[in-house]
A and B are shown apart, each in its own frame.
Chain A
Amino acid sequence: MTEAIGRGVRWFSVSIACALLTACASSGTVVLLPENDGRATAVTVRQGDKEVVLDQPYAAAKATALGPRSYSSSAREVDAQFGAALAAQPSRASSFTLYFVEGKDEFTEESKKVVDQILSEIARRPVPDVLVVGHTDAVGNDQYNDALGQQRAETVRAALMRLGIPSTDIHAISRGKRAPAVPTADGVAEPRNRRVEIVVR
């Protein structure tokens, strides 16, 4: 019992010390950055039971003893505080899509040109890793389509390996029918959804 109280008091003192330190050290800021493609974006900032939502470019919050305090930051401020972190940001993933000649393990003529683009994107990156993602149309259940998508991805992975890309840098996965290029009702056959996406990152 006494020990429990002691623990409680210690915890309380630590909390006060933290609160005081937080107040003195102006510890920590969060800034929402503009999204290139204008998509909606947001971050919530929670301290204890207090929360603020940042949902505008340069909306920011600073930790204070009384919880997160909202303010407006700017491109200049962000550059001064986060310039080095932003300069170290890796390139975003680049995505390409390959289509098969129906019923064959062979790329369409269009897709053969895309293969060249993929190879130059891989060459451009210092330590490329390549994700080969198989997609299907909506005919059949998830289990069937997951397997079919995996099979398509493995075929393309093998083709990329023949072009000289090390096997350790290429991973084949399947998204089955979950991410159609052209949304359809379940059970609909759609050639444009039978594809393999190559993500270079």
Chain B
Amino acid sequence: MANPCMRSVLVLAALWSATLADAADIGQIKISKGQVAIEREGTTLPASVGVRLQTADIVKTGSDGSVGITMDDDSLLSAGPNSVLSLDRYAFDPTTNRGRFDASLNRGTLAVISGRIAKQAPDAMTVRTPTAILGVRGTTFAVSAND
């Protein structure tokens, strides 16, 4: 167990099983105003309040739209109008709080309050824009990405 290599194998295995368990449910739409949609595997779904999110979902808001999301690790993401937010990668083990969260803001505005993943390991959460990569050490910030 003291072997660092063995330990990382175990951590990866734990993350992997956490990913499998949570594959269908990584967060939930808590607030949805105006035009908001989810793109999932090539189809478009309405992003109404209460809808649960999956890894690789892309959340899009129209010119009058805004959306608020609570992730399983208590991260809060909210996007303003004309935004494209992609939940690229998410793994979270609620017992150890270990995990990985990578999101992308391809366009628009996003406010973030980081949750338990970033609190447990400061390098475990990133937000990408077309120009920059943000490393989230905690906790609350806002980011924009222009066309």
* Chain A contact residues, CB within 8 Å of chain B: 22, 25-35, 39-47, 54, 61, 63, 68, 78, 81-93, 126-127, 129, 131, 133, 146, 173-176, 178, 199, 201
Contacts and interface: CB of A to CB of B under 8 A. Distances in A.
A28 B30 CA distance: 26
A30 B142 contact: yes
A32 B144 CA distance: 12
Nearest to B120: A178
A82 B133 contact: no
Given A25-B146, A28-B146, A88 B132 contact: no
Given A30-B132, A82-B80, A90-B31, A39 B139 contact: yes
Contact of B95 (A30, A41, A131, A146): A146
Contacts of B95: 146, 173-176, 178
Interface in B112-142: 113, 129-142
Contacts of B66: 84-85, 87-88
Given A39-B139, A176-B95, A90 B30 contact: yes
A162 to B, nearest CB: 23
A42 B50 contact: no
A28 B130 contact: yes
Interface residues of B, number: 46
A54 B113 CA distance: 15
A85 B142 contact: yes
A130 to B, nearest CB: 12
Contact of B136 (A43, A87, A174): A43
A90 B28 CA distance: 10
Contacts of A22: 131
B12 interface: no
A54 B131 contact: no
A180 to B, nearest CB: 14
B56 interface: no
B131 A28 contact: yes
Contacts of A176: 95
Contacts of A131: 94
A127 B96 CA distance: 26
A28 B145 contact: yes
B103 interface: no
Given A28-B144, A89-B68, 11 more contacts: A22-B131, A25-B147, A27-B146, A30-B142, A42-B137, A84-B80, A85-B78, A89-B76, A91-B30, A127-B30, A127-B49
Nearest to B79: A85
A89 B49 CA distance: 13
Contacts of B87: none
